[in-house]
Structure 1
Amino acid sequence: MSGTGTPVVEATGVVKRYGPTVALADGSLAVRPGEVHALVGRNGAGKSTLVGVLTGLVEPDAGEVAFGGEPAPPTGDRAAWRALVACVYQHPSVVKDLSVAENLFLNRQPRGRFGLVSHARMRREAAELLESWSVPVDPGLPARELTVEQRQLVEIAGALSLGARFVILDEPTAQLESRAVQRLFGRVRALREQGVTFLFISHHLPEVYELCERVTVFRDARHVVTDTVAALDRERLVAAMVGEARGLVRAGADRPPVPDDAEPVLELTGVGVPGVVGPVDLVVRRGEVVGVAGSAAGGKRQLAEALAGLRPRTGRVAVAGRVVRPGSVRAALDAGLGYLPGDRDVDGFVSGLSVAENATMTIAHRLGPGQLVLPARRDAEARRVIAELDVRTTGPHQPVGELSGGNAQKVAMARALAGDPEVLVLVQPTAGVDVRAKESLLGAVDAQTRRRRGALLVSDELEDLRVCDRVVVLVGGRVVAEHPRGWDEGGLVARIEGIGEDHD
């Protein structure tokens, strides 16, 4: 349990400005020894800026930061900061071309005779380090072969080896399936018992109630409230985050039933992804949203990528009756398939390009004669989608990298819609976005499919799947169950985890 002594870290009145933009107006936070403390807030609330301050990467314009009651080191003293605090990000920062041991001892490799790096000693000390923190990973394994879960544990072990006993977990579960999340939580609890303190940042509120003891809410770059999770129920927590009492996402609650004779817009017949999925038979009708649930090993993301032409596949895929050639992104686009990838930071957009360039990337060939793109036509299309999806931006020329996560995801959604597709294939459409962005994005899915499209929505988030007209469960690459709208949460989760029977 958490202590009540001097806070492990305390930020008081931290202010940070970037020109006219106030990134933090009152960044105040106190984390007690031995606790798992949650930090939540909408995208743009100031969480990332505070993390930068707490890790010594951002120098505040005003305010104070103390560790164990002592002032924080100068921002240039990286060794002092690493001995106090570590941050494990949503996208682990291990060097993929190096081994686990080489990552653990990066820039501090053990030396042997003549001052040369001793690889044998490094592997031995890495094995001892991993064993001491109960991280079951081979130190000789190339980092590129690690799962996201393993990379995070390796980063935590490396941070602890430097002396840090305060670890920030920044959206650590965004890319993990449910069993991996539970394993990570088990390691966090075990490390807490060994004296490690955690700051846990997540947009997935149920995780806050499962793992954390206290929670701090930021809104509009300011500290709003800190309380125990037991005293702050979900309605109050959401109200603190958004500034008004609002429920969690319920987009599409009044969707009309899809007629049984509605035209198919996506037909899968014997579709497989070699070694992962198949065969899968599935039909999405016009006006219908079909959810795909399952564990990370179930193959749902690989199936979506194969439909978009990003992976080889077998079987027949047809969009509005048009057979799609496998393994071709252009063939999928031309057939009328719009695709939203699961990782916006890697595949969803180019951060250095503008909102207009990103939103129209898939239809650039339509925006002018020959190979030319007419800027006026591109900007007009961008303004249309900015208005339609309520993208908070200064205009079509703003770089997407400057937007909050929720608004960047809306730009990725705009790209999927740009070609006026017959069917949308959406992977994790609300991953890493706040509650208002969730409502907006799922509301867009609801609105777009009520008109004339269909959608295949792949997600680990039960809140996402509530918008669906039905949900199929993929286990071991095969459809094992179908749940109609109004499904029971316990029954759906049981089938995803491969236990129990269909409770619907």
Structure 2
Amino acid sequence: MSTHVEARNVVKRFGPTTALDGAGITIAEGETHALVGRNGAGKSTLVSILTGLQRPDEGEVRFSGEPAPALGDRDAWRRRVACVYQKSTIIPALTVAENLFLNRQSEGRTINWRALRARARELLDTYEVDVDAQALAGDLSVEQRQLVEIARALSFGARFIILDEPTARLDGPAIERLFARMRSLREQGVTMMYISHHLDEVYEICQSVTVFRDARHVLTRPVAGLPHDELVAAMTGEATAAYEARQHTPAERVVLEGAGLSLAGRYTGVDLAVRSGEVVGLAGSASSGKVGLAETLVGLRRADAGTVTVNGTQVRAGDVPAAMRAGLGFVPEDRHHEGFVPLLSVGENATFPIARKLGRFGTVSPARRRAEAERLIGSLDIKTEGPDQPVGDLSGGNAQKVVFARALVDDPAVLVVINPTAGVDVKAKQALLGAVEDAVERGAGAVVVSDELDDLRICDRVLVMFHGRVVKEVPRGWSDHELVAVMEGIEE
């Protein structure tokens, strides 16, 4: 089988930091090849080099045996490689057709809109994307946006696609549909590089896997016959056991209560109570209503009916500051849009909720903020140059730790976290789940909403939602089969 993509002996430095140190990857034509590694291992830097956004300091990139195009020749790069990023590049205010042919709507001075829509429909049909070409992109689901991005990438003529954490915000059925589409593309001769922290997906969809660790290439092997433990050891440099969930001792005091909560189109008639020292999970498919319910508990959504009580205080519906004042800490679903301000520092992001306590007369003491930030950096093991580094410069796992730091900084009575480990590596997952359990041992209650079964293992009980209703409470000790059966509505 001939080589489609090759990066050899690549070195890339950013100031004193070496992001890639003689690393490389070789991907065969028509292969789906996984690239895995902990956050900060160098995966994103390699993607930027393979897509022509960065020039390597040393080493070379070749496509089908030929040297990569000049960095400024964007059209040549688009014909060779495309990347579907975890963070969508679709423009919500434009239609699907406009997104598909952005900056190439017409060869003349005027745009023939009918022809543009016809071209878009033909492209969508070719790659079996069931989306209306005239629909606004902002109205599409996450799954539909990803499929539109894949179709757009292929329309340039690229036969090599990089998929960066494509399943991070998809539920089980949507992931299966994506995998079916990927298998179909592979049968058509499309080569793919698949980046994921979900190792079960690597085994399901990929033929080969490359591991980066600490900016270096450490392993390339066929997936078939590669033991899970060996793959994890290559990623971490050591054998890593599964996260050991701790036993909790809930108190009688209720720290979070939702009574008679309903929100049209999302959930109906939900009651729940979380006690001090208890972790309660919310599980279900993407359409189950679990995220909408969690966002109601923290004030991001306003319920049509029902009440929310935080630490003994009934909170006005849709009032996030009031919920935080009452003692609630929150880790949102999308850290990029709701979790942090990328241009502000680690210290500024982490101490937002207590800024009023860090000075007098409306000012913030830089020394007090720095001291508090350094405490949080130490307790959560955030890999950063210091409190003054912009959060946008951090790896995904460390940025998520900053979001956790902000949620925990005021020692909340209750913690609500949504998909806390999405898009982070094995070590970061353990640190983040450990932070939840540390807060619970200090007396907080916690609600964990997750698509990851491993996240839910720390829960004392899991409330399973199906079509907007809580259909079952499952105590600790469940099996994957048992929980998934209830989530998918197929429990006997």
Structure 2-normalised TM-score? 0.98
Residue equivalent to 1:403: 394
- Residue 290 (str. 1) matches residue 270 (str. 2): no
Residue 423 (structure 2) aligned to one of 432, 435, 439: 432
Q: Is the 8 A contact 2:248 2:460 kept in 1?
A: no
Residue equivalent to 1:47: 43
Deviation at 1:364, TM superposition (A): 1.1
In 2: Cα distance, 1:267 partner to 1:158 partner: 46
- Residue 465 (str. 1) matches residue 456 (str. 2): yes
Residue 305 (structure 1) aligned to one of 292, 295, 299: 295
Residue equivalent to 1:278: 268
Report 1:68-217 matches (<5 A): 68-111=64-107, 115-217=109-211
Q: Is the 8 A contact 1:24 1:222 kept in 2?
A: yes
Q: Please give the per-residue CA displacement for 1:401-458, whole angstroms capped at 9, x wherever unaligned.
A: 1111111111100111122211000011111110000011111111110120010000
Q: Is the 8 A contact 2:248 2:278 kept in 1?
A: no
Q: Please give the per-residue CA displacement for 1:207-248, whole angstroms capped at 9, x wherever unaligned.
A: 111111110000000110000112221100110000011123
Look up the SS of the partner of 2:111 in the other structure: coil
Residue equivalent to 1:247: 241
Kindly provide the amino acid, as one letter, of the partner of residue 488 in structure 1: S
Q: Please give the per-residue CA displacement for 1:145-168, whole angstroms capped at 9, x wherever unaligned.
A: 111111111111111111101100
- Residue 23 (str. 1) matches residue 23 (str. 2): no
Residues 158 and 256 of structure 1: CA distance in aligned 2, closer, same or farther (over 3 Å): closer
Kindly provide the amino acid, as one letter, of the partner of residue 43 in structure 2: K
Look up the SS of the partner of 1:8 in the other structure: strand
- Residue 263 (str. 1) matches residue 259 (str. 2): no
Kindly provide the amino acid, as one letter, of the partner of residue 462 in structure 1: L
In 2: Cα distance, 1:281 partner to 1:109 partner: 51
Q: Is the 8 A contact 2:86 2:168 kept in 1?
A: yes
Kindly provide the amino acid, as one letter, of the partner of residue 328 in structure 1: D
Q: Is the 8 A contact 2:261 2:268 kept in 1?
A: yes
Q: Percent of pairs identical after alignment?
A: 59
Q: Please give the per-residue CA displacement for 1:25-75, whole angstroms capped at 9, x wherever unaligned.
A: 022101111111100000000000000010011100111111001111111
Kindly provide the amino acid, as one letter, of the partner of residue 49 in structure 1: T
Residue equivalent to 1:446: 437
Deviation at 1:305, TM superposition (A): 1.1
5+ unaligned residues in a row in structure 2: which ranges? none
- Residue 220 (str. 1) matches residue 214 (str. 2): yes
Deviation at 1:497, TM superposition (A): 1.2
Deviation at 1:299, TM superposition (A): 1.0
Deviation at 1:257, TM superposition (A): 4.5
Residue equivalent to 1:362: 353
Residue equivalent to 1:500: 491
In 1: Cα distance, 2:345 partner to 2:104 partner: 40
In 1: Cα distance, 2:197 partner to 2:179 partner: 16
Q: Is the 8 A contact 1:251 1:442 kept in 2?
A: no
Deviation at 1:333, TM superposition (A): 0.5
- Aligned length, in residue pairs: 491
Q: Is the 8 A contact 1:174 1:431 kept in 2?
A: yes
Q: Please give the per-residue CA displacement for 1:174-207, whole angstroms capped at 9, x wherever unaligned.
A: 1111111111111001111111111000011111
Q: Please give the per-residue CA displacement for 1:372-392, whole angstroms capped at 9, x wherever unaligned.
A: 111112112111111111112
In 2: Cα distance, 1:399 partner to 1:79 partner: 32
Deviation at 1:479, TM superposition (A): 0.5
In 1: Cα distance, 2:122 partner to 2:310 partner: 54
Q: Is the 8 A contact 2:13 2:57 kept in 1?
A: yes
Kindly provide the amino acid, as one letter, of the partner of residue 116 in structure 2: M
In 2: Cα distance, 1:124 partner to 1:12 partner: 42
Q: Please give the per-residue CA displacement for 1:443-489, whole angstroms capped at 9, x wherever unaligned.
A: 11111101200100000001101111111111111100111111011
Structure 1-normalised TM-score? 0.95
In 1: Cα distance, 2:434 partner to 2:364 partner: 31
Residue equivalent to 1:315: 306
In 2: Cα distance, 1:101 partner to 1:320 partner: 49
Kindly provide the amino acid, as one letter, of the partner of residue 378 in structure 2: A
- Residue 419 (str. 1) matches residue 410 (str. 2): yes
In 1: Cα distance, 2:283 partner to 2:360 partner: 43
Look up the SS of the partner of 2:80 in the other structure: coil
Kindly provide the amino acid, as one letter, of the partner of residue 32 in structure 2: V
Q: Is the 8 A contact 2:297 2:308 kept in 1?
A: yes
- Residue 385 (str. 1) matches residue 379 (str. 2): no
In 2: Cα distance, 1:124 partner to 1:58 partner: 35
Q: Is the 8 A contact 1:251 1:443 kept in 2?
A: no
5+ unaligned residues in a row in structure 1: which ranges? none
Structure 1 segments (4+ residues) deviating >6 Å: none
Deviation at 1:111, TM superposition (A): 4.8
Residue equivalent to 1:394: 385
Q: Please give the per-residue CA displacement for 1:114-149, whole angstroms capped at 9, x wherever unaligned.
A: x41100000011111110111111111111111111
CA RMSD, 1 decimal: 1.2
Q: Is the 8 A contact 2:391 2:399 kept in 1?
A: yes
Kindly provide the amino acid, as one letter, of the partner of residue 481 in structure 2: G
In 2: Cα distance, 1:16 partner to 1:412 partner: 28
In 2: Cα distance, 1:284 partner to 1:31 partner: 49
